[in-house]
Amino acid sequence: MRKLLCTFLVGLSLFSAMVAAAPPEDIRQSGFVYCVNGAATTFNPQLVSGGLVVDTLAAQLYDRLLDVDPYTYRLIPELAASWETLDNGATYRFHLRHNVPFQKTAWFTPGRPMNADDVVFSFQRIFDRKSAWHGVNGGSYPYFDSLQFADSVASVKKLSSDTVEIRLNAPDASFLWHLATHYAPVLSAEYAAQLSKVDRQEQLDRQPVGTGPFKLSEYRTGQYIRLARHTNYWKGMPRMPMVVIDMGAGGTGRLSKLLTGECDVLAYPAASQISVLRDDPRLRLTLRPGMNIAYLAFNTRKAPLDRAEVRQALALAINNERLMESVYYGTAETAASILPRASWAYDNNARVTEYNPQKSREMLKALGVEDLQLTLWVPATSQAWNPSPLKTAELIQADLAQVGVTVKIVPVEGRFQEARLMEMNHDLTLTGWATDSNDPDSFFRPLLSCAAIGSQTNFAHWCDAAFDETLQKALLSQQLASRIEYYGKAQAMLAQSLPVLPLAYSLRLQAYRHDIHGLVLSPFGNASFAGVYRDPRTKP
């Protein structure tokens, strides 16, 4: 017994000695931990409509032909060293950069640098329905599908080893902006050919190979993604050897990990945590206007919401100021248009709908709408444009009760219920949109065009021939001034008939530890981590 006790005590003291040893400083120098709440279902941003893969991983693993400057919002060259716009915007010719190496990974060793074949392969997979790769892993390309690009692209052709030409059926001024989004990465055609040979095509999206600053080194489902730096990166070697994307903890767990230093960067902190983040001297907070909009969509195919007057009357009953205070805690701006204020086509004449329940009641009475009962569909989890959709829905419910409208809230949860939204049974949908592109077209066309009713993004089920025509005309012109004019007209039409009620533009937040430097947060998602480094000398 005594012997046992002795061994136990010795063991205990040994253990405590190990614990008390000085913490290793250097492993922290070799990388940083980026904490997110999300999951990766694929490593190819072409295949998804948003989430972690698009807003964080895409910029690390891949490069695009063009990029958007995070500060000036202009197109800048990336893999395309230069480009030409021909045929009044119907043909685009890209001159590719030379000597851009692909990543060498455990599953692929590149034999040549990036060339026109890779670009043609990447885009044919999306645009060419006859391509052998189009149907691999589902054959759905949500971003480009929502813009009907498979129909509008006539051909993707290699002119020489460093020149690629993309022809459209009609001029489209927004095209370059879409190519600059993270949904349009350049993949390796050589890797694809290697996979075809062994008939493992589905690996292309699971074991990625790109030209970006970091390559995938380890992935544990639901736990973490380890990225290792691409030492031959064409813009120069990234500063940190490793980045770990931690997907392990949600909610307050992530905030605690940031406070203890287990996380170095916290993506999308909750708006309600802002005060904690601001008060802690060890933490830094970045706020950027985001390319997103939260809105309330009226089902315009269902009576009585098919009448614009009824929609206007309901809009008057909603207290937008209160939403700003109790849902966003000051991390958003009231929206007057479906287009974010950061957009170049934002209509400065747009006005936020006033809050006037008295007038709303009178209007509804005059319209003969009484005892109105509506169902409001709302996502159950937080979204990029709305930190707490359910709370927002409850506030709207209370507002509408003031004017005698009964609202029943239907939380939409899980993958299967989302599809039910398109059964068109709902009256109201509280939703939003976030995009990667600075072109106004990426807001109007997916959300409000007739064709988008089929692609599950037009929750208002709104289809107006005159509005569609205005959008089309705006795309035909390469002149910014005339495009702004058309989009101004489109916004005026929306304000008139109000198929959707814009609520808020949410700011993008990112919190990080004081010793992390070089993070760039862009309104269009995360920039690459190539320039991120840790300086332990930075004192809190």
Partner 1 sequence: MIIYTLRRLVLWLVTLFLLTVVGFSLSYFTPHAPLQGASFSDAILFWYQGLMQFDFGVSSINGEPVSLQLLEVFPATLELCILAFVLAMAVGIPFGIAAGVMRNRWQDKAISALALLGFSMPVFWLALLLTLFFSLDLGWLPVSGRVDLLYPMKNITGFALIDAWLSDSPWRHEMLKSVLLHLILPVTALAVAPTTEVVRLLRISTREVMEQNYIKAAATRGLSRLTIIRRHVLHNALPPVVPRLGLQFSTMLTLAMITEVVFSWPGLGRWLVDAIRQQDYAAISAGVMMVGGLVITVNVLADILGALTTPLKHKEWYALR
Which residues of the chain form contacts with partner 1 (CB under 8 A)? 1, 8, 15, 18-19, 21, 24, 27-28, 30-33, 39-42, 202, 206, 217-218, 220-224, 226, 242, 244, 246, 248-249, 253, 256-257, 259-260, 262, 414-416
Question: What is the nearest approach in angstroms of partner 1 to the Cβ of residue 296?
Answer: 27
The backbone torsions φ and ψ at residue 375, rounded to the nearest 5 degrees and listed phi first, read -105, 135
Cα–Cα distance measured from residue 267 to residue 278, given in angstroms and rounded to the nearest whole number: 15
With residue 265 as reference, give the H or E element that holds it: strand 265-267
Residue at 345: amino acid letter: A
* Residue 21 CB-density burial (10 A; 0-12 exposed, 13-18 middle, 19+ buried): exposed
Residue closer to partner 1, measured from CB, 248 or 304:
248
Residue closer to partner 1, measured from CB, 262 or 468:
262
Residue closer to partner 1, measured from CB, 28 or 489:
28
Residue closer to partner 1, measured from CB, 153 or 243:
243
Residue closer to partner 1, measured from CB, 245 or 509:
245
The backbone torsions φ and ψ at residue 32, rounded to the nearest 5 degrees and listed phi first, read -140, 160
Question: What is the nearest approach in angstroms of partner 1 to the Cβ of residue 29?
Answer: 10
Residue closer to partner 1, measured from CB, 71 or 416:
416
Tokens matching residue 314: 């309901």
With residue 159 as reference, give the H or E element that holds it: strand 153-160
Question: What is the nearest approach in angstroms of partner 1 to the Cβ of residue 260?
Answer: 5
Question: What is the nearest approach in angstroms of partner 1 to the Cβ of residue 441?
Answer: 32
Question: What is the nearest approach in angstroms of partner 1 to the Cβ of residue 11?
Answer: 10
Question: What is the nearest approach in angstroms of partner 1 to the Cβ of residue 273?
Answer: 14
Q: Which long-range contacts does 214-218 make (Cβ < 8 Å, 24+ apart)?
A: 214/60, 214/61, 214/238, 214/243, 214/528, 214/529, 214/530, 215/61, 215/103, 215/104, 215/105, 216/43, 216/61, 216/105, 217/105, 217/242
Residue closer to partner 1, measured from CB, 256 or 425:
256
Residue closer to partner 1, measured from CB, 5 or 198:
5
Question: What is the nearest approach in angstroms of partner 1 to the Cβ of residue 340?
Answer: 31
Residue that has been written with the tokens 């709207």 in this structure: 396
Question: What is the nearest approach in angstroms of partner 1 to the Cβ of residue 202?
Answer: 8
338: Cβ contacts below 8 Å, ≥ 6 apart: 293, 295, 443, 444, 447, 448, 491, 494, 500, 502
Question: What is the nearest approach in angstroms of partner 1 to the Cβ of residue 250?
Answer: 8
Residue closer to partner 1, measured from CB, 381 or 397:
381
Residue at 377: amino acid letter: W
Tokens matching residue 327: 């849902």
Contact 508, 455 (CB under 8 A): no
Rg (CA), the chain: 25
Comparing C-alpha atoms, which of 33, 520, 525, 531 is closest to residue 242?
33
Q: Where do runs of H (alpha helix) occur along 421-511? A: 441-448, 465-476, 480-497
Residue closer to partner 1, measured from CB, 129 or 220:
220
- Bridge partners of residue 165, in order along the sequence: 93, 157
Residue that has been written with the tokens 């698009």 in this structure: 54
Question: What is the nearest approach in angstroms of partner 1 to the Cβ of residue 30?
Answer: 7
